Amino acid sequence: MVSPAFIRPALALLVAAAVVFIVIAIFRNGSNRSGSAPLTSQQLPQNVDIALKRARFTDMKDGLVDWELVADRVEYNKSGEIATLTGGIRMDFMKSATHAAIKVTADTAEYLVNSKNIKLSGNVHVVTKDGVIFNTDKIDYTAAISQFRTTEKVSFSQERLELIATGMVMDVKDHKARFFKLVDATVTGLSVIDKTKNRTEEKR
């Protein structure tokens, strides 16, 4: 039979070992949690309050979606008024009674939450359903008047017309474009009258 004099010290050692084990386990679990938790304040730039993946913005007119803007990532500034979009930038204008469908792609974009104005930059490519195509480096969209505007160099084409200009304004409703400074223009298949031969010839 084991003497009580030996049982009490043994029990004391077991209790102490159990306490130490529990403390170590709690410490390890706490360390693992803190290491895996997202440190938002350290990962984001100082001027950014929140970042989200796969963003989508829309504008409604007369109860219907007028345009939709999507991106792989969006970062909101501290005020929440400016959203910076990166990756997979695409802006789609839906076909309506006032305008044909338009597709816009770019490298980055800045969306102004209050006004819904958009600043697109980097390889901006615009294609309309009725045949207008243009490329530029930067362009702004003003939501209140449904208008694109840029002061950058633009390559523009529509049907037989191809031109390069500096600066352009294009209304979304009628797709009419006005250029600030024309650099070069070419009209393919233009018919002119050759008076010397009294016939019409087509210039190629």
34/172 Cα distance (integer angstroms): 51
177/149 Cα distance (integer angstroms): 10
Q: Is the dihedral angle over the CA atoms 51, 55, 53, 89 positive or is it negative?
A: negative
Angle at 174 between CA 171 and CA 180, to 5 degrees: 40
pLDDT value of residue 9:
54
Indicate the domain borders of the chain. 1-37, 42-187
191/166 Cα distance (integer angstroms): 28
Amino acid at 126: V
Instruction: Encode pLDDT of 133-181 as tens digits.
Output: 999 999 999 999 999 999 999 999 988 889 999 999 999 988 888 999 9
Mean pLDDT of the chain: 77
Percent of the chain with pLDDT over 70: 68
| pLDDT tier, 194 (very low <50, low <70, confident <90, very high otherwise) | very low
Q: Which residue has the higher pLDDT, 75 or 6?
A: 75
166-175 contacts at long range (C-beta below 8 A, 24 or more positions apart): 168/134, 168/136, 170/132, 170/134, 171/145, 171/146, 171/147, 172/93, 172/99, 172/102, 172/146, 172/147, 172/148, 173/98, 173/99, 173/146, 174/99, 175/99, 175/100, 175/128, 175/130, 175/132
Cα 127 to chain center, whole Å? Answer: 17
pLDDT value of residue 176:
87
- Surface-to-core class of residue 147, CB atoms within 10 Å of its CB (0-12 exposed, 13-18 middle, 19+ buried): middle
Q: Which CATH superfamily is domain 42-187 in?
A: Lipopolysaccharide (LPS) transport protein A like domain (2.60.450.10)
For range 12-28, the mean pLDDT: 48
4 forms beta bridges with none
Amino acid at 44: L
Cα distance between the two ends of the chain = 116
Instruction: Encode pLDDT of 34-82 as tens digits.
Output: 332 333 444 555 555 677 888 899 998 888 899 999 999 999 887 888 9
Q: Which residue has the higher pLDDT, 10 or 156?
A: 156
Task: Kindly report the backbone phi and psi dihedral angles of residue 196, in degrees, each rounded to the nearest multiple of 5, phi listed first.
Answer: -70, -30
pLDDT value of residue 83:
92
Q: Tell me which residue has tokens 């796969």.
A: 54
85-89 contacts at long range (C-beta below 8 A, 24 or more positions apart): 85/55, 85/109, 85/110, 85/111, 89/120
Q: Characterize the bridge pairing of strands 191-194 and 177-187.
A: unpaired
Q: Which residue has the higher pLDDT, 4 or 93?
A: 93
pLDDT value of residue 199:
38
49/113 Cα distance (integer angstroms): 15
pLDDT value of residue 182:
81
pLDDT value of residue 12:
55
